[in-house]
Chains A and B, each alone.
Chain A
Amino acid sequence: MARFAQNRSLSFEAAVAHCEVFVLRHLASLEMDGHHQKQKNKYSIIVPTYNERLNIGLIVYLIFKHLGPDGTQDVVKQLQQVYGEDRILLRARPRKLGLGTAYIHGMKHASGNFVVIMDADLSHHPKYLPSFIRKQSETGADIVTGTRYVKGGGVHGWNLMRKLTSRGANVLAQTLLWPGVSDLTGSFRLYRKSVLEDIISCCVSKGYVFQMEMIVRASRKGYHIEEVPITFVDRVFGSSKLGGSEIVEYLKGLAYLLVTT
């Protein structure tokens, strides 16, 4: 029986700087049962969103299309209820900023023993969820991470400069950190809930350095990590998000990880 967790919320996260900056994030999580021969696993899907509430409906539909049970009527009804849910204000601890607090908040409401984290802008397609689950079942992995840089994976909508930047960043990280996974900054992953709680409690970075820190720390702690090829379709063609300050932040994060892991 699929059900929505009644945890639609609005969380205020404070960025500590010369002045406080409030970032509004929405968080939606879905829980559904996955039946397997040996045991019954429960999967919670966390989708951190920021001004993307209209994409949630599309994502929910696609998730249930590829994973869900037959009771789509209940799904839509609860979807409507979720959208009308009262918002809950939450003040996160200042030490944890950005995506980390969204994940932590999602984990509080996640009752599954496995947690999937994916983006809300549909650059991550829910059709890969079955292959994540299958890979985890076959290998008993603690983490299954989506990778765009192997055969079967790929990207669309990236111009040459973005590809060059991505490759350069990846080569640099691979050379310095030797992490054992090919896509360090991808955020489409399946975690054991206990593993996610363990890792997230010691991650402090922000942005996509946060994703890199998660997977590097998991590798250092000896967790079993497997990879599944995914495609990344950028719906806003050609708009590169990387500027000079992003590169500087990335290099800082890389140096931090090099020294602390």
Chain B
Amino acid sequence: MKHIVKILTLVMAITALWVGLLQTSMIPCSHTWLLPIYFVVSLGCYGLLMVGVGLMNFPTCPQEALLLQKDIVEAKEYLKQKGVDVSSS
């Protein structure tokens, strides 16, 4: 099953639920009409929250850069000894 079909099915289910609420008037009509907007805004806030949390927890590794430079120097020296020219790198 295509992923887009799953998403559309989910959207249709939510829409059906919303229409059901409108029909039965369990919640005041004005609030029910605004539910989709609430839903979209909540999704947006959730997305921003995820980005923020991810940004705060972004793993960094400054020591890896130092280790890489050491490896590069080591490799250059080895290759130079063996006659392979990588001097421009």
Give residues in A with beta carbon < 8 Å to B. Answer: 54-55, 57-58, 61-62, 65, 76, 79-80, 83, 122, 125, 127, 148-158, 163-164, 167-168, 170-172, 175-178, 220, 231, 233, 235, 258-261
Contacts and interface: CB of A to CB of B under 8 A. Distances in A.
Interface in B43-68: 47, 50-51, 54-55, 58-62, 64-65, 68
Interface stretch (B11-19, B20-28, B31-39, B76-84): B76-84
Contact of B78 (A61, A122, A154, A233): A61
By Cβ-Cβ distance, the 9 closest A-B pairs, closest first, are A154-B61, A54-B89, A154-B59, A61-B75, A167-B54, A76-B82, A231-B64, A57-B86, A171-B50
Given A54-B88, A80-B84, A168-B51, A156 B62 contact: yes
B72 interface: yes
16 contacts: A54-B88, A57-B84, A57-B89, A76-B79, A127-B71, A155-B58, A155-B59, A155-B61, A156-B61, A163-B55, A167-B54, A167-B55, A170-B54, A258-B4, A258-B7, A259-B2
Contacts of B71: 58, 62, 65, 125, 127
Contacts of B76: 58
Contact of A261 (B3, B62, B65, B86): B3
From DSSP, what is the main secondary structure of chain A's interface residues?
Answer: helix
A215 to B, nearest CB: 14
A153 B59 CA distance: 7
Contacts of A175: 47, 50
Contacts of B75: 57-58, 61-62, 65
Given A54-B88, A62-B71, A163 B58 contact: yes
Contacts of A163: 55, 58
Given A58-B76, A154-B59, 12 more contacts: A54-B88, A55-B89, A58-B72, A61-B78, A76-B79, A76-B83, A76-B84, A154-B64, A155-B61, A170-B54, A175-B50, A233-B64
Contacts of B4: 258-259
A65 B60 CA distance: 25
A83 B83 CA distance: 12
B58 A167 contact: yes
